[in-house]
């Protein structure tokens, strides 16, 4: 096996691990409120989310993969430089995922990957090869890094607003109903969990696909950025397996430490988060299911009793979001330096 083939195989394995940790993180976010509200058994919620997470990438198209895979131009880079860039970005994202999982913090795999790509891109190919999208934004178009930023940073804000509005609407529409309406919310929980799982798979799995697509282009296996069918199936499988295992420490954080979740909050949370994810996927903007679910839950709580929201814990989570990109950029640059040194020995 030559070095190029070895690096492709290494990238594929690393993407599998990244997507697994992504699903591992996000399954906790998606089922936390359903479990905390006691509307659904943990095993049932995980199984339902896993099934629809698997369907999402197969049916939703590849707009997000195109966005992530093309905002760093590696077409003119030297073979080893381009390969080092892709692997370094991936290693940065996996590193941040594992660190935050260890502390039970719902971090963003998407932010980690975007930060890793920018950090590795700046170190290896320079800022001129990064599609910042600033010029296009002046003409009213969202492309490149600006599109990524819009998806990753605007989506939590939108999630909070939508979560707040949906909660208020539910209170208004069902204000005269008694507890006899509970079975309706229990049934709707199955729909909302399924939609959230589908929207998660449709958006998040495409980021790993983008990395493999970039690696194939960097290694001259493809002439332009594209995603083969086997890549779609592999990434879908990896993120689904991660979803099935779940991150129980994160379930504890979201389900019990931010707000006292009841059935009505769970339904509102999942519907709001799924709506934000779906809107972002439609325009090809990457989102973080973790951030969207958490922000939507904060909106749900603020709509009912702001004083009962665990704002201190929420502040810790938001701080993790704010440092996510710069820390991942640092990891991306660090791993780039190490990989270039290592690959230079074999060149």
What pLDDT score does 88 carry? Answer: 93
Calculate the CA dihedral of residues 299, 258, 288, 249 and round it to 10 degrees: -160
Cα–Cα distances in Å, from 30 out to 59, 158, 201, 275, 325? 20, 17, 11, 13, 23
Residue of 59 and 290 predicted with greater confidence: 59
What's the average model confidence in pLDDT over 34-47?
76
Q: Which residues contact 252 (CB under 8 A, 6 or more apart)?
A: 104
What's the pLDDT band for 71 if we cut at 50, 70, 90? confident
- How much is the pTM? 0.79
pLDDT by residue (tens digit) across 89-143? 989 988 887 887 777 666 677 778 889 999 999 999 998 888 888 887 888 777 7
pLDDT by residue (tens digit) across 226-240? 889 999 999 989 888
pLDDT at residue 255 is higher than 60: no
């Amino acid at each position: 096996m030559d070095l190029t083939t070895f690096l492709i195989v290494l990238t594929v394995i690393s993407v599998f691990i990244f997507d697994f940790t992504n699903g591992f993180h996000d399954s906790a976010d998606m089922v936390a409120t359903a479990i905390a509200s006691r509307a659904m058994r943990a095993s049932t919620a995980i199984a339902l989310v896993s099934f629809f997470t698997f369907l999402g990438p197969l049916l939703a198209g590849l707009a997000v993969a195109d966005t992530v895979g093309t905002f760093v131009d590696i077409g003119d880079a030297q073979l080893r430089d381009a390969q080092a860039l892709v692997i370094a970005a991936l290693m940065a994202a996996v590193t941040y995922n594992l660190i935050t999982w260890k502390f039970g913090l719902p971090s963003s795999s998407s932010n980690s990957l975007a930060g890793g790509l920018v950090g590795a891109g700046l170190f290896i190919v320079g800022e001129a090869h990064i599609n910042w999208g600033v010029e296009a934004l002046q003409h009213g178009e969202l492309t490149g890094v600006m599109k990524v930023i819009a998806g990753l940073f605007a989506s939590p804000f939108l999630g909070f607003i939508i979560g707040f509005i949906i909660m208020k609407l539910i209170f208004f529409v069902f204000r005269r109903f008694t507890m006899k309406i509970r079975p309706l919310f229990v049934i709707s929980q199955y729909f909302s969990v399924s939609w959230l799982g589908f929207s998660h798979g449709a958006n998040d799995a495409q980021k790993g696909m983008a990395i493999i697509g970039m690696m194939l282009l960097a290694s001259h296996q493809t002439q332009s950025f594209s995603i083969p069918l086997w890549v779609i199936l592999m990434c879908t499988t990896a993120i689904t397996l991660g979803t099935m295992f779940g991150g129980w420490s994160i379930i504890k954080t979201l389900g019990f430490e931010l707000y006292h979740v009841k059935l009505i909050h769970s339904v509102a949370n999942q519907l709001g988060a799924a709506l934000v994810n779906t809107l972002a996927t439609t325009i090809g903007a990457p989102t973080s299911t973790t951030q969207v679910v958490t922000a939507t839950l904060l909106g749900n709580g603020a709509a009912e009793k702001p004083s009962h929201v665990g704002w201190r814990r929420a502040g810790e989570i938001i701080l993790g979001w704010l440092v996510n990109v710069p820390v991942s950029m640092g990891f991306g640059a660090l791993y780039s330096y190490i990989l270039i040194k290592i690959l230079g020995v074999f060149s």
